[in-house]
Amino acid sequence: MKIGIVGGGNLGSSLVRGFLESNALKANEITVSDSDVEKLRELKKLGIQTTSDNKKLVKDCDTIFIAVKRDIVESVLKEVEEFSKGRLFVSVAAGISTKFIEARTKARVVRAMPNICGAVAEMASCFSLGGRATSEDEKLVERLLGHGGTTFKVDEKLMDAVTGLSGSGPAYFYLFIRALQEAGAELGLSSEVALKLAAQTAKGAGEMVLRTGESPDNLVKQVCTPKGTTIEGIKVLENRKVAEAIKEAVKAAAKRAKELSR
């Protein structure tokens, strides 16, 4: 199997690291193309193949992930169109529809929305099939993304919601982790210890939801004992309407994704 990734930026490199971390692919099965020599130099340290020639990558690979910024997707597609027949293009560019790519190439197309947590094989992602994609394409994409975390097949009209929730979601958690770190430091903990406590707490909370199947509401109740410590913190968050702010953040990101859709 030969997998190509056009774009060695944050998302492209996280895909590479995730595929390797999860053993979904071997290093010699991955090629990345990018015009930035420094990015390619760093990625080559992982043992993968690199090139600055997008055409060569598409000619040499069976499945190609399009991981460039949305404003240059069209120019990339135009560049490689003549080599696209018989290939599977998996677009991870926000707001780019399968129809947009199908109209500009002869490739079979799948649209996916991963997130940067794929770099540590803890990615949350969704994917949608284009009109020419096959059941074999679906199985392949599900396997590759599933190895790097959790993935779901969804209707393409829901991809903006996915973008706002899990695509942008890591940034929301990083802000929360930073706030916990800063509070811990202000209370006397070292910044390093506070950061690790905050990050592990976030990781553990997520695992509790995934492994126990308990609802977030029930888990909150398990932590909040009457007249205890946690309930005092929850009162502050409820008074500040933090939950509402988080929902508004997801909706704002999803709205922007819809505005950018092509």
3-state SS, residue 148: coil
Q: What is the pLDDT of residues 40-71, one digit of tens each?
A: 999 999 999 999 999 999 999 999 999 999 89
**What structural domains does the chain harbor?**
3-161 (3.40.50.720), 169-260 (1.10.3730.10)
3-state SS, residue 88: strand
The gap from C-alpha 152 to its chain's centroid, in whole angstroms, comes to 12
Residues of the chain scoring pLDDT < 70: none
Give the pLDDT of residue 5: 98
CA angle 14, 138, 33 (to 5 degrees): 35
Residues forming a β-bridge with 31: 4, 49
Give the pLDDT of residue 146: 94
Cα dist from 130 to 91, 135, 196, 217, 225, whole Å: 11, 11, 42, 37, 50
DSSP 205-234: HHHHHHHH---HHHHHHHH--TTSSHHHHH
Give the pLDDT of residue 95: 87
And the tokens for 57?
């990558």
Q: Do 98 and 39 meet the contact criterion of CB atoms below 8 Å apart?
A: no
Question: Nearest-CA neighbor of 91 among 106, 70, 75?
Answer: 70
DSSP 13-66: HHHHHHHHHTTSS-GGGEEEE-S-HHHHHHHHTTT-EEES-HHHHHHH-SEEEE
- The amino acid at residue 172 is Y
Q: In what order do the strands lie in the sheet with 49-51?
A: 49-51, 30-33, 3-6, 63-66, 88-91, 108-113, 123-129, 149-153
Q: What is the pLDDT of residues 6-35, one digit of tens each?
A: 999 998 999 999 999 999 999 999 999 999
